[in-house]
Structure 1
Amino acid sequence: MACLPRGLTRLLAGKNIARLTRRCLSSTNYEGFKVRQLHGKESASLANSQTAEGSRLTNEDLKVFHSVDPNGFFVALDNAGDIVGTIGAVRWTEKLGFIGFCHAGEEAKDRGVEEALWLAAMEHLGDRNIGIEVDASEAEKCGQLGFQEEWRSGCYKGVGVSLLPEAQSTKIVRRITDMPFSKVAYFDEDLFDFQRMKFLYRWANIEPPAGHAYALSEDEKVMGYGVLRQLNLSKKYRIAPLYCQHTAVAQVLLLALLNNIPEQTVYIDSPFSNPSFTRILTTDLKMEQIGERVRMYTKGDPGMPLQKMFGTMGSDLGS
């Protein structure tokens, strides 16, 4: 999640985010700490930013996230060489970027670590349309800094369900590992209008016990896919993402995923823009809403396929 630095308002001094993104850093060394790019072997430190319930990824998953844009992750180090802060700034395209994985220890916050990390992130993203996702309580403050609210999502918690044998058998739902992966990649690219096959292959090409991934096809054409991955806690999972052409497809894939983890805890972030799917989560599956998040951008909605995003990747990558 993109936490908002307490000192960012002071740092801006009357400017907004759009102006700050054009400011170049004259130095990456500060009093008592320095900022540099995060090395791949340090990706586990990104977990410190994931304090919300149901957000704690495994170290392997954090490595996959880091691989999206290895040059866009930064750490702050104190004089002893210990990591005291992190941030991720992913360049999805030449026009679109996203900030997440923001964290700084309490003592580090008072030394300007958060502000320095944000400067590094925004310099990396340049003049792109920058997205963040924050708790609902932070949305107003982010709006004052130049971010525009585009939509809200609920964070839901529930348990897996067991399907009757006759409901489990279907020729149109297949494990992604049992089909040409290019079909899933084409579906994803058509949704977002940019290609991210390397990341998607590492994320969705998964098998038990690490997780489960299914796609639903009609006439050999993928109509949706969903991924269930284990969190960094025993018997806890997250569905991320769940992208489908319509609600009926999303419901079928959701149940197929949940069937693998009966009575085990599962989380999903789902935009409020799909009320029929929200009712499936809260009424049919008795899931509890445990939070609310707000997606914001500096230049407005980049054209995300919101009506087809039934479960998002979470608050750190922006999809």
Structure 2
Amino acid sequence: MPDYSIRSATEDDLTILLSWAADEGWNPGLDDRSAFQAADPSGFYVGCIGGTPVTCISAVKYGTDFGFIGFYICHPDHRGNGYGWKLWQHAMASLDERTVGLDGVVEQQANYKASGFEFAHRTIRQSGISMVDTPMDPRLTTIGQGLFPSIRDYDLQIFRFPRVDFLKSWLDPMASSRRGFALVDDGEVKGYGTLRQCAEGFKIGPLFADTADIADTLFRALAGQVKGQVVFLDTPEPNTHAEELAERYELSPEFETARMYKGKNPNLPLDHIYGVTSFELG
């Protein structure tokens, strides 16, 4: 293995990672870099030959109990040499004894199973042209700094693990390519979602809500911002209301991944998850 070394990814490396993800057809967001790095600055790695990255992976830590693997890519010119496997082992070791989650593409699921991961459920990438208008609902509010503590607490109920720094960056109103709405009823957050511009179209996620009706209102609030444009929504298959929402607005299945865990399944409240945040970070 000639001159192969592993190191933490720099900010410039993250730009390379995102470009590789785009080449793989994963369609990352235009402003994902800062939020992803905020999630865990030490959670991204590259494998290099002669100092040049040829493999990458993320192993983001959420508190002391959970981690998530993503961005597992080997440059096409260097596949089949074992570089990716060495980086995988390094990343998994960095997560210590945490439960580890990932969203695996179909062709890699057998490999993940061999590494001790167990299938939890399918997640379906849905896509279509937004043909909705933003509803005139007085409970809808844009997400600003004043609402952040309530969003943070609500997110913890659904995501299960703390990701405060990620949310601060993800919901930053200065990020012009992202927009967020919450539905607040009697002073309590009942759901929230974000829309972000990607290389192709716009992704909606997370989309967390107490009920199907609230999820529908939030979806229309977000998709209505980009009427006539392509939108994507990644729905966990066990949430049948999420699939019904996608069908109602004529979104079609594009591909699927499998949510898999190594360690204790956190048993997420999938009936409240209508769109996952990202395949890279969970």
Instruction: Give the TM-score, by structure 2 length.
Output: 0.93
- Is 1:32 equivalent to 2:3 in the alignment? yes
In 1, Cα distance between equivalents of 2:263 and 2:199: 35
Could you say what secondary structure the match of 1:110 adopts?
coil
Partner amino acid for 1:184? I
Query: Which residue of structure 1 aligns with residue 115 of structure 2?
Result: 145
Per-residue Cα deviation, 1:264-303 (whole angstroms, up to 9, x for no partner): 0111101011112212212x21111000110001114123
The CA deviation at 1:65 is 0.5
Equivalent residues in 2 for 1:196-207, closer than 5 Å: 196-206=163-173
C-alpha RMSD of matched pairs (Å): 1.9
Amino acid at match of 1:40: E
- 2:214 paired with 1:244: no
* Kept in 2: contact 1:156–1:268 (CA 8 A): yes
Structure 1 residue 54: deviation in Å?
A: 5.5
Q: Which residue of 1 aligns with 2:224?
A: 259
**2:162 aligned partner, one-letter code:** Q
| Deviation at residue 168 of structure 1 after TM alignment | 2.7
Deviation at 1:197, TM superposition (A): 1.9
Letter in 2 for 1:65: F
Contact 1:251–1:277 (8 Å) recurs in 2: no
Q: Does 1:294 align with 2:264?
A: no
Q: Which residue number in structure 2 is paired with residue 91 of structure 1? A: 61
> CA distance change for structure 1 residues 305 and 187 in 2, over 3 Å: closer, same or farther?
same
For residues 205-244 of structure 1, the aligned pairs below 5 Å read 205-206=172-173, 209-233=176-200, 236-244=201-209
Structure 1 position 215, deviation (Å): 0.1
| AA in 1 matched with 2:252 | E
1:146-185 → structure 2 map (5 Å cutoff): 146-163=116-133, 168-177=135-144, 179-185=146-152
Q: Point out the structure with max Rg over C-alpha.
A: 1
Q: Deviations over 1:93-123 (max 9, x none)?
A: 2121111011111232233210121121011
1:137-196: CA deviation from partner (whole Å, max 9, x where unpaired): 432342233110011111011122242xxx732210010127522111111122234332
Structure 2 residue matching 1:142: 3-state secondary structure: helix
Does the CA contact (< 8 Å) of 2:22 and 2:199 recur in 1?
no
1:121 is aligned to 91
Q: 2:221 aligns to what SS in structure 1?
A: helix
The amino acid across from 2:272 in the alignment is K
Change (3 A) 1:156 1:207: farther
Is the contact between residue 155 and residue 267 of structure 1 (CA under 8 Å) also seen in structure 2? yes
1:313 maps to 277
Which SS does the other structure have where 2:226 is aligned? coil
Question: Shift of residue 249 of structure 1?
Answer: 0.8
Q: 1:115–1:61: structure 2 CA closer, same or farther, 3 Å change rule? A: same
Q: How does 1:14-53 map to 2 (within 5 A)?
A: 31-47=2-18, 48-51=20-23, 53=25
CA contact (8 A) 2:38 2:169 kept: no
Identity over aligned residues, as a percent?
Answer: 26
Cα gap change, 1:162 to 1:279, in 2 (>3 Å): closer
CA change 1:49–1:178 in 2 (3 A) is: closer
Q: Pick closer, same or farther for the CA change 1:208–1:198 going to 2, 3 Å.
A: closer
Unaligned 5+ residue runs, structure 1? 1-29
Greater Cα offset, 306-315 or 249-258: 306-315
**Which amino acid counterpart does residue 257 of structure 2 have in structure 1?**
R
Distance 2:125 2:159 in 1: 22
Mapping of 1:96-115 within 5 angstroms? 96-115=66-85
Instruction: Give 1:276's aligned amino acid.
Output: H
Cα distance in 2 for residues equivalent to 1:208 and 1:146:
38
Higher relative strand content: 2
Shift of residue 127, structure 1, vs aligned partner: 1.6
Name the CA distance, whole Å, in 2 between partners of 1:294 and 1:61. Answer: 22
Taking the aligned partners of 1:143 and 1:193, their CA distance within structure 2 comes to 24
Q: How far apart are the structure 1 equivalents of 2:62 and 2:38? A: 12
The Cα of 1:51 is off from its aligned counterpart by 4.5
2:28 equivalent in structure 1:
56
